[in-house]
Amino acid sequence: MKWLIVNGDDFGVSRGINGGIIAAHRRGILTSTSLIVNAPWSEEAAWLSRAVPALSVGLHVHIVSEGREGATGPIDDDSYRAELCRQFFRFQELVGRPPTHLDSHHNGHRNPRLLPHFLALARQYGLPLREHSPARYFSKFYGQWGGETHLEQIGVESLVRIFETEVQEGVTELSCHPGYVDPDFPSGYSAERETELRTLCDPIVRQALAVQQIQLVSFRDLGALLAELPR
C-alpha cells in the first residue's frame, strides 16, 4: 500500500494562511497541518480547526533565539527544554487536545543541539517527529529555488509527477504551504502559496492519486496503519 499524508505548515501565522489551509482540507487533498502557537493568528487557527475534526493538527515548534530562528546562542539546554514544553502545553490550551505530530518551523529541529530535546518530547508523548518516524518526509513541493520563484514546481503537472515517482510503498509525508495572499502579512513566499492551494484543490490531482493507488491519510491514522504493515 501507498499512503500519503499531505501536511500544511505554518497554521496560525496569518489569516490568509489559516484560510488557505482550511480550504485545502475542505476542497482539496490536505489531511494534516502544523500549528505555530506563538503566532499572531494562532488562536484563530485553533478555532477554525474545531470545525474540521478530520484535520490532524500537530505542533509546529517555532524557536527564536537572539532574533535568529533555531539559533542556539547562549541559552542553555534547560531553557530549550522548557520552551518546547511551554509550546506543547500552549498547543493543548488552544486546541483542547495534544498534537497529532511534531515538527518545526524551517526544520529547526535538525539543529544538533535542539534535536535531542525534540526526540525526548516525541518519545514522552508518543508523537511522530518529522524525519524521525516511519513517515518518509518529502519537502520538494515548494515554489522557490535559489531565491527565485518557480511556480512550475508547485503546479498540477509537478504534483502528479511527484505521485508517480516519489510516493513509495508505506507512508509518505508531503509538506506544503497553501494560503491566500494577505496584505497584512508581507512575505517572500506569497503568490506561491495561492498556487499551491489551487494545485491541491485541482480535481486532476485527486484523479492522479486514484490512478497511482495512493490513499490519503493523516497523522492521526499513523498508528493504525503501522499495525497493518507485515512484520
- 2-228 homologous superfamily: Glycoside hydrolase/deacetylase (3.20.20.370)
- Residue 52 half-sphere exposure toward CB, CA atoms < 13 A: 22
Q: Which amino acid is at 110?
A: R
Q: Give 182-221 pLDDT, tens digit per residue.
A: 888 888 898 999 999 999 999 999 999 999 999 999 999 9
Rounded to whole angstroms, the Cα distance separating 110 from 89 reads 22
Region 6-29: what's the mean pLDDT?
Answer: 97
Q: Give 139-175 pLDDT, tens digit per residue.
A: 999 999 888 999 999 999 999 999 999 999 999 999 9
Query: Taking 70 as the threshold, does the pLDDT of residue 75 lie above it?
Result: no
pTM of the shown model: 0.93
Nearest to 109 by CA among 100, 122, 92: 122
pLDDT of residue 69: 47
Q: Do the Cβ atoms of 21 and 8 come closer than 8 Å?
A: yes
Q: Do the Cβ atoms of 214 and 162 come closer than 8 Å?
A: no
Instruction: For the chain, give the longest Cα–Cα distance.
Output: 52
pLDDT of residue 230: 61
Per-residue DSSP letter, 174: E
Q: Identify the band that residue 64 occupies on the pLDDT scale cut at 50, 70 and 90.
A: confident
pLDDT of residue 67: 45
Rounded to whole angstroms, the Cα distance separating 32 from 37 reads 16
Dihedral over alpha carbons 153, 154, 160, 162 (to 10 degrees): 60
Q: Burial of 2 by CB count in 10 Å (0-12 exposed, 13-18 middle, 19+ buried)? A: middle
Name the least confident of 35-49, 64-78, 80-94.
64-78
- Residue 191 half-sphere exposure toward CB, CA atoms < 13 A: 6
CA distances from 44 to 37, 133, 145 (A): 11, 29, 31
pLDDT of residue 231: 58
Query: What integer best gives the mean pLDDT of the chain?
Result: 92
The helix (run of H) or strand (run of E) holding residue 60 is strand 56-61
Residue 102: beta bridge partners?
Answer: 59, 129
pLDDT of residue 96: 96
Listed by start position, the domains of the chain span 2-228
Query: Taking 70 as the threshold, does the pLDDT of residue 91 lie above it?
Result: yes
Q: Helix or strand or coil: residue 166?
A: coil
pLDDT of residue 229: 62
Region 176-186: what's the mean pLDDT?
Answer: 91
Q: Helix or strand or coil: residue 150?
A: coil
